[in-house]
Amino acid sequence: MNQALENLATEIGLADPAHERCRLAFAHACALRVEHLLEAAAVVECLGKLGAYLRGEIDHLVLQEVQRLADQLANQHPGSRSIDGCGHAAVSASYAVAHAVNGRALQAASYAAYATVYAGGGYAAVAQPEAFEPEFAWQLAALRRQGLIAAHAATPPAADRPAA
């Protein structure tokens, strides 16, 4: 759990319905960091469609279809064929994408962090909590940037603000 990220999310009101774009953009950024771990082309396509939505290339109805598909794909991932699944991060990366396209930013970040660490070997994810620190630090900085962008977008230009 990235407590600093959760604290910042609370501070900026990330869960507020008005911050949907901020949640999606942050979750997209987190999922992009684990895109190379994805095994299913359809999951990669879901991530790409989230990017297209953020660029205004597809509408919310298409995104809703992508949300359902991403959830289904993550839930159907076969996992690792090895006995312990050690080092198999594609499942977590798939869940990061599913959460990202659904706007569940903190969950997307959590799964992306786990996938990043798990890709280096399951032992680190379980026995070395400090292995998460670089990804947690990146996530915190990324959410700060998204929060500033969201705050700037919510602030009307000086000409539109009431005089003090």
Tally of domains in the chain: 1
| Within-domain flag for 15 | yes
Tokens of 72: 């289904």
Q: Over the stretch 113-150, which tens digit does the pLDDT of each residue have?
A: 999 988 877 665 667 788 899 999 999 999 999 877 77
Task: Give the pLDDT score at 86.
Answer: 47
Q: Over the stretch 49-98, which tens digit does the pLDDT of each residue have?
A: 999 999 999 999 999 999 999 999 998 866 655 544 444 788 999 999 99
Per the CB < 8 A criterion, the answer to whether 59 and 72 are in contact is: no
Residue 107's nearest CA partner among 43, 27, 7 is 27
| Within-domain flag for 163 | no
* Interaxial angle between packed helices 133-154 and 3-12, expressed in degrees from 0 to 180 and rounded to the nearest 10: 0
Per the CB < 8 A criterion, the answer to whether 97 and 31 are in contact is: yes
Radius of gyration of the chain (CA): 17
| Within-domain flag for 161 | no
| Within-domain flag for 159 | no
Task: Give the pLDDT score at 155.
Answer: 45
Pairwise CA distance, residues 65 & 76, whole Å: 17
Which structural domain, as residue segments, surrounds residue 97? 3-154
Across 31-40, average pLDDT: 95
| Within-domain flag for 160 | no
What is the pTM assigned to this prediction?
0.85
The angle subtended at Cα 40 by Cα 104 and Cα 64, nearest 5°, is: 40
| Within-domain flag for 44 | yes
Contacts by residues 52-55 (CB-CB < 8 Å, ≥ 24 positions apart) = 53/24, 54/21, 54/24, 54/25, 54/28
| Within-domain flag for 74 | yes
Task: Give the pLDDT score at 83.
Answer: 44
